[in-house]
Amino acid sequence: MKVILIGDSGHARVIADNVTSNGDTVIARLDDKYSELEKRGECFYGPSSSVHELIRQEQAKVVIAIGANAVRQKIASKLNLSEDNYATIIHKEAIVSPSAELGPGTVVMPGVIVNAAAKVGSHVILNTRLVIEHDCVIGDYAHVSPGAMITGGVLVGDGVHIGAGATVIPTKSIGAWSTIGAGSVVIDDIEEHSTAVGVPARIIKTADQTVSTANRKA
């Protein structure tokens, strides 16, 4: 498979390694720091607007190789590609249950485990050596960081960022576009557009305000 990466920074380099681990080929790295399309060796470099031309020319699939969830969503909206134009990249050292579902544009890093009946949305980053347990639902544009443990039946909303080494206990939900701090342990539902940190995780910020210590849950 030929793959076009949208983005050309550190996260894109990691995804490029994922692509080549499966014997596939990165044929283009598109980023708006480039003003025009040019070929260097076997790879094209150019602005993201070149993607439509390259899809037609090379019969390639696309991955948005940007770590920031909101930026990834913005680029997907701007490109306006069909789902069929996106690749789902699974590193050869990841384990994905045959009954799990992964959406287009999603990337699964080495050492990841996705267990039975889990449903992972589109343009999701499942980072190194994390676990998504059975019956979890992970929304579009989420990023689950290295070493996180998402236990059974958890619902993770669109655009959520779960920090490295965080744990979410079974059947809890994390609302859309929330952030869970690294190493946190989520034992309660988290409302959308919130930031929660600590053991156990407490909400320290919502979309409207920073939560004072006195007003946090005891």
* Residue 91, C-beta contacts closer than 8 angstroms, at least 6 positions apart: 18, 21, 22, 108, 109, 110, 111, 112
Residue 76 has a pLDDT of: 97
Annotated binding site: 9-11, 67, 143
Asked if residue 33 has pLDDT above 70, the reply is: yes
Residues making up the annotated binding site for acetyl-CoA are 143
pLDDT score at 211: 60
The pLDDT value recorded for residue 215 is: 47
3-class DSSP string for the chain: CEEEEECCCHHHHHHHHHHHHCCCEEEEEECCCCCCCEEECCEEEECHHHHHHHHHHHCCEEEECCCCHHHHHHHHHHHCCCHHHECCEECCCCEECCCCEECCCCEECCCCEECCCCEECCCCEECCCCEECCCCEECCCCEECCCCEECCCCEECCCCEECCCCEECCCCEECCCCEECCCCEECCCECCCCEEECCCCEEEECCCCECCHHHCCC
Residue 44 has pLDDT above 70, yes or no: yes
Which among 52, 134, 161, 193 is annotated as catalytic? 134
Residue 24 has pLDDT above 60, yes or no: yes
The answer for residues whose C-beta is within 8 angstroms of residue 169's C-beta and 6 or more apart is: 151, 185, 186, 187
Read off the pLDDT of residues 122-135 as tens digits, 9 standing for 90 and up. Answer: 999 999 999 999 99
Task: Write out pLDDT tens, residues 161-205.
Answer: 999 999 999 999 999 999 999 999 999 999 999 999 999 999 999
Domains by residue range for the chain, with CATH: 2-85 (3.40.50.20), 89-218 (2.160.10.10)
- Using alpha carbons only, give the angle 29, 62, 93 rounded to the nearest 5 degrees: 90
Active site residue 91: no
Residue 23 has pLDDT above 80, yes or no: yes
Q: What is the pLDDT at residue 218?
A: 38
- How confident is the model at residue 210, as a pLDDT? 67
pLDDT(214) > 60: no
Give pTM, 2 decimals: 0.93
> Per-residue pLDDT for 217 more than 50?
no
The Cα 119–Cα 139 span in angstroms is: 8
Average confidence score pLDDT of the chain: 95
